[in-house]
Amino acid sequence: MMTLFYLILILFNIIQIDSSLNTCRQTFGPNKYDLNQLSNLTILGEEKSFRYILTPCGLVPTNKCGSSISSFEPGMTACQERIPDARFESAMGFLDGYGKSPNLLFNENPQGPGTGIVMIMRNALCNRRERFVNVTFICDENIKQPTKMNVIEGPICKFKIIVRAAEACPVKEGITGGAIFIIILFVLIIIYLVCGILYNRYKQNQTGLAVIPNRSFWLLLGGMFVDGCKFTWNFVRNCAQRTFSSSASYESV
C-alpha cells in the first residue's frame, strides 16, 4: 500500500500545477489562445536609446530591467531600460491582481480570426500620465519561444509592440493534465489490485475475499463511502423537509 502512496506522491510532483493567469486565456469565436505559454520567456526589443523587456503573462526579471536606486514595484510584466548607462527607466505594464488599474485588455488580432491576439496595457505611468502599450502577438508557426520583439513609440507615451510566436496561435484542444493524472491513477490502482490478487492467490494460497490486497483497508474505505452517502442523503432530506415546513407555515399565515 505504501508503494501506491509513493507513486501517487510522485505523480503530484511531476504534474505541473496550473498557477497561470486566467486572464491570459482568451476565446474569440472558435479560437482559443493561451499566452501563458510565453510566461517563462524574456523577450527583448530596442528603440532609439531604450531597451524594452517583456515577460508575457509573467513577472519580468527585474535584473534585466537595469539598475535602480529604489525598489521595483511588484507585478511588473514589462519594463524600460536606458541603454547607455543600463539604468532602469520605468515600468511598461503590470499584471492583474497587483493593485494597478485598469486590468489587461485582450482582443483578437484585427488581421483576422486565428492570426493572433492583442494585449493592451494601460496601468503604468509615462511622464506622470497614462502609458498606452499595445502588444500584438502574431501567430507564426515558424518561431517558437521567441526572444525578440519590435517596439515603436509614437506619439509620445504610446507604444506598439509586435511579437511573432507559435505560442500566439490558437490552442489545439488536447487532454488536460488533470485528466492524465486521473487516468494514470486509475491504471495504477488496477495494476495494484490485479498483482495483489494474483500474489495472494498463487503465492499465499488465499481464497475468497482474502485474495484482495490490504482487504481491511478497502473494506474500511467502502464503509466510509457508504457512511458519507447516508450522511449526505439525510442532510439533503432534512433541509428539504425544513424548507417545505417553512413554506407551509408561511402559506397558512
Alpha-carbon distance of 121 to 210, in angstroms, equals: 65
pLDDT digits (tens, 9 = 90+) for 72-99: 999 999 999 999 999 999 999 999 988 8
**CATH no. of 16-168:** 2.70.130.10
Residue type, 97: G
Residue 14, pLDDT score: 44
Which residue in this structure is represented by grid cell 494597478?
Answer: 100
pLDDT digits (tens, 9 = 90+) for 121-178: 999 999 889 999 999 999 999 999 999 999 999 889 999 999 999 999 999 876 666 7
Kindly report whether the global pTM for this prediction surpasses the value 0.85: no
pLDDT digits (tens, 9 = 90+) for 32-70: 999 999 999 999 999 989 999 999 999 999 999 999 999
Mean of all residue pLDDT scores within the chain: 85
Instruction: Return the closest-CA partner of residue 61 out of 46, 48, 78, 47.
Output: 78
CA dihedral 35, 40, 45, 49 (to 10 degrees): 130
- Three-class secondary structure of residue 63 per DSSP: helix
Alpha-carbon distance of 18 to 38, in angstroms, equals: 14
